[in-house]
Structure 1
Amino acid sequence: MRHSNTSPILRAEAKVALTGPVQIMDKLCEHFIEHGKVDRLGRSARVEFEYGSASVEADDDSLYLRAEGPDATGLAYVKWSLAEHILDFVKGETPRIAWDGDGATGSSLPYFREMSVVSASNVTPRMRRVRLKGGDLARFAIGGIHVRLLLPPKPGVTPSWPVMGEDGRPVWPKGEDRPVMRIYTIRDIDVERGEIEIDFVLHEGDDTPGSTWAQQACPGDIVGVLGPGGGELPQADWYLFAGDETALPAISRILAELPADCRATVLLEVADASEEQPLRSAAALDIRWLHRNGAAAGTTSLIEDAIRSIAMPSNETRRFIWAGCEQKSCRCLKRLLRKEWKVPTSQHQVVAYWRAGHTADQVEH
Structure 2
Amino acid sequence: MPRFSCDTAIPHDRPSAAAGRLVAAAEPYGLSFVREGGTLAASGAFGRLALTVGADGLHLRAEAEDRGLLERLRASVGEQLVGLLGEDVAIVWTGDVETGPLFADFREIRVTAVLDLTPRLRRVTFQGCDLGRFATPDNLHVRLYLPPDGATVPSWPRPGPDGRPLWPEPDRRPAVRYYTLRRIDAEAGELDIDFVLHADGGHPAGASDGAPGAGFARRARPGDLCGMSGPCGLGIRPASWHLLAGDETALPAIARILEELPADARGIALIEVEDAADEVPLRTPAGIAVRWLHRRDAGADEGPLVEAVRALALPSDPSTLFAWVACEFDDLGRLRDHLRGRGIDRDRMLTVAYWRRTPPAAPSDRRTSA
Output the TM-score relative to the length of structure 1: 0.89
1:139 alignment partner in structure 2:
133
Q: Tell me which of 151, 159, 182 is aligned to 2:154.
A: 159
Q: CA deviation at 1:243?
A: 0.8
Q: CA deviation at 1:279?
A: 1.4
- Which residue identity is paired with 1:214? A
C-alpha RMSD of matched pairs (Å): 2.4
2:62 alignment partner in structure 1:
67
The question of whether the paired residues in 1 share the 8 Å contact of 2:328 and 2:355 is answered with: yes
Q: Deviations over 1:212-265 (max 9, x none)?
A: 210111111111111111134322121101111011111112222212232131
2:315 alignment partner in structure 1:
313
Q: Deviations over 1:162-212 (max 9, x none)?
A: 111122222111142211222211111111111111011101112532112
- Which residue identity is paired with 1:334? R
Q: CA deviation at 1:44?
A: 1.7
2:150 and 2:297 mapped to 1: Cα distance? 33
Distance 1:10 1:46, change over 3 A: same
- Which residue identity is paired with 1:94? D
Q: Does 1:125 align with 2:119?
A: yes
1:308 and 1:165 mapped to 2: Cα distance? 47
Q: Does 1:270 align with 2:264?
A: no
2:107 and 2:236 mapped to 1: Cα distance? 25
1:76 and 1:201 mapped to 2: Cα distance? 31
- Which residue identity is paired with 1:304? V
2:256 alignment partner in structure 1:
253
The question of whether the paired residues in 2 share the 8 Å contact of 1:21 and 1:58 is answered with: yes
The question of whether the paired residues in 2 share the 8 Å contact of 1:106 and 1:166 is answered with: no
> SS of the counterpart of 2:22?
helix
1:304 and 1:262 mapped to 2: Cα distance? 24
2:87 and 2:187 mapped to 1: Cα distance? 48
- Which residue identity is paired with 2:293? L
Q: Which runs of 5+ in 2 are unaligned?
A: 204-209, 361-368
Q: Which moved further from structure 2: 327-336 or 131-140?
A: 327-336
Q: CA deviation at 1:19?
A: 4.2
Q: CA deviation at 1:317?
A: 5.1
Distance 1:93 1:168, change over 3 A: closer
Percent identity, aligned pairs only? 40
> SS of the counterpart of 2:333?
helix
The question of whether the paired residues in 1 share the 8 Å contact of 2:145 and 2:226 is answered with: yes
Q: Give the aligned length.
A: 352
Report 1:96-115 matches (<5 A). 96-105=90-99, 107-115=101-109
1:86 alignment partner in structure 2:
81
Distance 1:107 1:155, change over 3 A: closer
